[in-house]
Chains A and B, each alone.
Chain A
Amino acid sequence: MNEQPLHHLDTLRARQPRFRGLESGHRACQGCGEALAARLTTEAAGPDVVVANATGCLEVFTTPWPQSAWRLPWIHSVFGNTAAVAAGMEAALKQQGRATQVLAFAGDGGTFDIGFQALSGMMERGHDVLFVCFDNEAYMNTGVQRSGSTPHAAMTTTSPPGELRMGKRHMKKDILSIIAAHHIPYAATASVAYPSDLRKKVRRAMDTEGASFLQIHSPCPLGWGHEGAKTIEVARLAVQTGLFPVIEMERGELIGTLPIREPRPVSDYLKLQNRFRHLFASEYRARKELEHLQAIANRNIERFELRGIGSEAYDTEGADTVHRGGDRWA
């Protein structure tokens, strides 16, 4: 009778093997890819870190005063200065002789666009900071406006399809190539659909001295127009189609990829999301845009040699799959 019930929260927490940097109970939407990515990142990073967080959904849904979902020392300053705030924290900790590591969190707006200059400066100066971009491909916090990361042809509130337009006219900025040009020790992409891979990359980045960069593809059910329950499926298809290559770079050189076992057609990924709905209308320009997006995926597969060589443990089908007997790959 005196035994703690199994569902007692503290008991469950005590049993939980991993450190939780981001607690449950925050205000993210159902199926939020960014919340999942932030939880996975902070679990892997562990408790001896400080976090600088850009303005955006992650900041807003985790810290409605007087509540905070963070179990880490965390600071939000403004939208565009996250990498610089992180650089300042790193400089301070270094001067104080402390081993605490520094993380910077930003969305794609805070990385590709308004935060880009500060990020470039931080990397050029080689601060020992892991900058994590939670890439959900638009300004979601302000209500889904296009960003430099929004994919070509996607619908947002500022790139609406219409008589003269088929969604975003421009290409998704190739941020990783720009990062690579800084020749930082470690840069990688990851996806919430492949959590083991994501954790491994966080740990790798944390073990790397100097600036490192991780771009995590994080679906936004509200902004992309898919069901909250489909976040992982959608994220997985982005990788399986080749539209979001999962790769690793050292000093700007490609050192690893997550191979695609059997590339899926981009339409499998696009048709699950309302932001691409206009591409499935029966008209010429819709077909041309679909072809265009397929060409982008094909080009990614070719460029990064993403095509797998059969059934590999670590590929788009094998990674993060629990196999019979409980063995876990990767």
Chain B
Amino acid sequence: MALALEGSQALARTVALCRPQVVAAYPITPQTHIVEGIAKLVADGQLACEMVSVESEHSAASVALGAAAAGSRAYTASASQGILLMAEVLFDISGLRIPLVMTCANRALSGPLNIWNDQQDSMSMRDSGWIQLYCATNQEAVDTTVQAFRIAERCELPVMVCVDGFTLTHTLEPLELPSAEQVDAFLPAYTFRHGLDPSDPRSLGTLVGPEHFSEVRHAHHQAMMSAQTAIEQADADWADVVGRHCGGLVESRGDPEARLGILTLGSVLGTLEDAMDSDPELPRARFIKLRSFRPFPADALRKACEGLDHLIVLERALSPGAGGIVGPEVQTAVIEMAEPPRVHNYAAGLGGRDLSLDLYSRIVQAAVGAERPREFAIIDADPELLPESDR
């Protein structure tokens, strides 16, 4: 039965269904409703869990780390500045191969201060060694959260579930929540093999010198690459339970015959799909939903791009001084194809800039028909608002 739920409330209930034993969080917009929801479930006795309301995101990640190392299923959530404050600990969690799950309610980074949605926060953690899964809808956010615990525990890697702030977290819509029985069967009680236990004392996070460090990094990288299988498997297995797919690593949608592709991460996909559907005169496109950004599924991506002449990579973040973040990675992957598409890379919707239906025609016009791939651009930046020197 579908329930009318705010994205954050749905996520709070879903996290509770996953039975974390420790949840640690520090409030930050737009993540707050998720942890408020979990705190209420704990207060009402509906979730047996230690809810640790810490004094900073640095400690939120650290409490989750400690709890998982001591053998408990652990969860945290954050966004924006909180992700940056956690950064040091996030690298440590993945480097120690500690399985836990975090929701990133995607939000822009300061400065200047901006509380609205883009994906600069999770993108800044690109190299942190966390699995990153992006959700296009709240239903995907619900289903991906359940899958994330399975993936984290099977791969002994942390998973960041990226959910667009406000666009998803604060939107109320009909959602299907799984039953407790479904989740319990999918996520049996977990024991961390490398946990801290006085009966088998081991040292975690030791000093590793040059003679072993490369091997540590190699093993981590291999584990991330191998996680592609676990991500696809978790999605397939969960689909067997609830009858819904989230798209594995990469999902192709839209017009399969189209020679034009548009690659997106997160919720902007729905806007572009609606735009194409609303106007039959517009050129048709194949939508490529990159669900797994880390690990980066180069093989699956090439397969999804077969037959394309043009590929627009539309992202919600950028690397100032270089251009896009996802775009160059996609370019590197597709260049190995026999007939690679021409890649066009744009950013849009930064700091919550509204993405309206005309975005579709703007990016298509900018890309198709151009003699050469146009340079990276923030496609919805308004030159009228800029001084002459910055245009």
Q: Chain A residues in contact with chain B, CB under 8 A?
A: 47-50, 52, 59-60, 63-66, 68, 70-78, 80-81, 83-96, 100, 117-118, 120-121, 124-125
Contacts and interface: CB of A to CB of B under 8 A. Distances in A.
A127 to B, nearest CB: 8
B62 A50 contact: no
A92 B96 CA distance: 18
Interface of B: 21-22, 24, 48-50, 52-56, 58-59, 61-72, 74, 88-89, 92, 96, 196-198, 200-209, 212
Given A92-B71, A121-B54, A84 B201 contact: no
Given A81-B58, A84-B58, A95-B48, A70 B203 contact: yes
A75 B205 contact: yes
Given A88-B24, A95-B72, A78 B88 contact: yes
A118 B205 CA distance: 19
A64 B55 contact: no
B196 to A, nearest CB: 4
A78 B74 contact: no
A92 B203 contact: no
A85 B58 CA distance: 10
A117 B49 contact: no
Contacts of A74: 196, 201-204
Nearest to A118: B59
Contact of A63 (B63, B67, B197, B206): B206
Nearest to B91: A78
B206 A121 contact: no
Contact of A71 (B70, B96, B201): B201
Nearest to A79: B88
Nearest to A122: B59
Contacts of B200: 73
A106 B66 CA distance: 16
A95 B89 contact: no
A117 B55 CA distance: 8
Given A65-B207, A77-B92, A118-B58, 4 more contacts: A75-B196, A81-B62, A89-B66, A95-B72
A218 to B, nearest CB: 20
B58 A80 contact: yes
A72 B66 contact: no
A93 B70 contact: yes
Contact of B92 (A50, A73, A78): A78
A92 B207 contact: no
A184 to B, nearest CB: 15
Contact of A65 (B48, B64, B212): B212
Contact of A118 (B55, B68, B72): B55
A81 B59 CA distance: 6
Contacts of B66: 52, 75, 77, 84-92
B171 to A, nearest CB: 32
Contacts of A65: 206-209, 212
A118 B133 CA distance: 30
B67 A91 contact: yes
B112 to A, nearest CB: 26
A90 to B, nearest CB: 8
Nearest to A27: B207
Nearest to B205: A76
Given A91-B22, A91-B50, A118-B55, A96 B71 contact: yes
A72 B53 CA distance: 28
A95 B68 CA distance: 12
12 contacts: A60-B207, A65-B208, A74-B201, A75-B196, A81-B61, A84-B66, A85-B65, A89-B196, A95-B22, A117-B56, A118-B59, A121-B54
A52 B196 CA distance: 10
Nearest to A86: B66
A76 B93 CA distance: 11
A84 B62 contact: yes
Contacts of B197: 73
Contacts of B69: 75, 85, 88-89
A80 B299 CA distance: 40
Nearest to A74: B203
Contacts of B48: 95
A204 B125 CA distance: 43
A92 B89 contact: no
Given A65-B208, A81-B58, A92 B201 contact: no
Given A71-B201, A75-B205, A124-B55, A92 B62 contact: no
B57 to A, nearest CB: 10
Nearest to B50: A91
A238 B55 CA distance: 35
A91 B21 CA distance: 8
Contacts of B96: 77
A71 B198 CA distance: 9
B203 A77 contact: no
Nearest to A94: B50
Given A73-B197, A73-B198, A85 B71 contact: no
A50 B204 contact: no
Nearest to B51: A91
A71 B207 CA distance: 16
B63 A84 contact: yes
A93 B64 CA distance: 13
A88 B52 contact: yes
Contact of A88 (B22, B49, B206, B208): B22
Nearest to A63: B206
Nearest to B208: A65
A68 to B, nearest CB: 4
A96 B69 CA distance: 13
A88 B89 contact: no
A91 B52 contact: yes
Nearest to B58: A81
Contacts of A48: 198
